[in-house]
Amino acid sequence: MGWISSGEIPQAVAGEHTAQVHTCPMHPQIRQPGSGRCPICGMPLVPAAAAGGADLDEFSVRIEPAQRRLANIQTDEVRREPVSATIQTVGAIAIDESRMATIASYIDGRIERLFADYTGVKVSKGDHLAVVYSPELYSAQVEYIESRKSLANASTTMQAVRQAQQKLVANSRQKLVELGLRKEQITELETTEKAESRLTIYAPSGGTVIEKVAVEGEYIKSGDPIYRIADLSTVWLMLELYPEDAARIRFGQRVEAEIQSLHGDRFTGRVAFVAPTVDPRKRTVGVRVEFLNTDGTLRPGDYADASITLPIGQQGEVYDAELAGRWISPMHPQIISAKPGQCPICGMDLVSTSRYGYSETPVQQPASLYVPRSAVLMAGNNSVVYVETEPGRFEIRPVVMGPILKDRVIILAGLKESEIVATSGNFLIDSQMQLAGNPSLIDPTRAIAAQKERKTPMEFHQTSVASIDGSTGETLEDLFEAYFRIQQTLASDAKPSRNDAGALHQTAVMLQADAAIPREAVELIEVIAQHSEHLHHMDLKAARHDAFRPISHAVVTLASLVRGQSASKPFHHMFCPMVKGGAGDWLQDNSKLINPYWGSQMLTCGEAIHEFPASGTWPASAESTQRHDDHKTSSAPEKR
């Protein structure tokens, strides 16, 4: 019935169908011929070329809107503003070591009574602490009394004998002082002339008994401790910080802490000490914070959550309203005064807070460039972000990171303010770059090298073009003419001739030895001589990029400095952003742009940047608005 007929499947169509590779936008490792669904996530497979972003340069990939929605690719803006980092850490409350005292016995004896008979009791300066029985003390008192009587009853008139007796009395009295008798106790002994075998020990300072070493009835030796007392009106918070965080801490830095046993209560202290060394075992730096504790709320041994706010990019002076124009104790940063004086705790002279970098007036905090933390992909020493340069086009961008904050990363190099970066789905973008054989997080070396290339024209400050007269000026103009012939030859896709290359080299050699040429210009001419000697031996590609490019950079700069006195026409500085490796500057003697780096492939690709006059002053801002866009129709990828 004619239902069956002979025929052949077009080989081109069949081959085209079987050659089409599809992949999953979410799982790029899935690759198979023909369409279907991903065996992992069930998403429809798409052509690998579409997933890889065809018709893009090697540093970018295109994500289609459907893929973008399915992969949940989100973006955010690169911002620049003052940023503060908060260091969160945990420390322990400790006793202020500078306010501790040990009460020890001055004499050998037996403790008959302890007035502060348990640990934790508070004592005041001058309070009775203990009574010690000592025969040694009794005999010393008797010796002092008898020596005083002998001196008073002495009838001899010999001066030497009397002086000896006076020395005996003085030495006996000093012995009592060394045995721990106070001045008022010695005065009472002199009045009553009654020796006592018991010594009362008084508190030299107020505080809390943190350790009771001896007990009643115990025999002790001279120097044995009886009590340890600490003044807990100030306490320390001991912190351990990483060296990079400790490097940004300064004396007097404000610290806020929340004690774990006192939920909701926050205390404010100031940094009293930053250790000058790094602990070799823990690789941390000790930081000591002083807190006032007049009400005894803070207990040594308790833990505290501390937070220290540090401005990012902080250099030089900082502003703290509590320290502006004030005086501070170098040992106790909680002691702050409006005028010079002495610290009531340690007696040291107060110093100006400016010594520690605190400004008397508010200091504007520097702004930092940052992105959301999720925007940065990190692997080893590599850090990259993906910048959306146009809708759907994501370009890899290696970055140099600064401090990493809780939800942000400071960017030191690689991004500009207001650029758009991917913050979610960027691993999918990176996988598409890998599929396309482009630089990615695994190996961004090509992108790093491209980032270092100069894609902008040479810049010049406003200056004057000096005129060189005589034969030197004529030779200088001959150098420019030889350069222009080479430039035109390269634009016509031909190698420079032996004559033109030799002329450029010979004139450069003559000028670099001429005393009439300024030293700054001589250095440029030396570059021209170095790269022009073998110019005619090179192939076309090497002549353009390896020799002509450094020669052009020197010639452009030379034209901005000197010309021959006979010169009459201006020179034109041109630039092409499409030159591989960047730095595509050159000089022309007319305004009709012909590109020596591309020749017929993109003959008019580039732009006029500056016009250098034959002499006199020229402004650096004089830029031509003329732009040649013929490269859009060339086979090279478009990139601006």
Rounded CA gap, 78 and 433, in Å? Answer: 22
Q: Which portions of the chain are predicted below pLDDT 50? A: 1-18, 50-56, 620-640
3-class secondary structure per residue, 274-289: ECCCCCCCCCCEEEEE
pLDDT above 70 covers a percentage of the chain that reads 88
Which residue in 388, 411, 366 sits closest to 79, CA to CA? 411
Residues in the chain: 640
* pLDDT value of position 452: 64
What confidence score (pLDDT) does residue 156 get? Answer: 61
Q: What is the pLDDT of residue 13?
A: 39
Q: Report pLDDT for 27.
A: 61
Helix (H) or strand (E) run with residue 606 in it:
strand 606-612
Give the chain's domains with CATH numbers: 11-52 (no CATH), 74-83+368-451 (2.40.420.20), 86-96+232-311 (2.40.30.170), 98-230 (2.40.50.100), 315-364 (no CATH), 463-633 (no CATH)
Q: Residue 553: which of 533, 516, 526 has the closest Cα? A: 526
Cβ partners under 8 Å of residue 179, min gap 6: 106, 107, 134, 136, 137, 140, 199
What is the rounded distance in angstroms from the CA atom of residue 604 to the CA atom of residue 589? 15
**C-alpha triplet 13, 15, 17: angle, nearest 5°:** 70
H/E element, 188: helix 183-192
Strand bridging mode 31-33 / 122-123? unpaired
Q: Which helix (H) or strand (E) holds 472?
A: helix 470-491
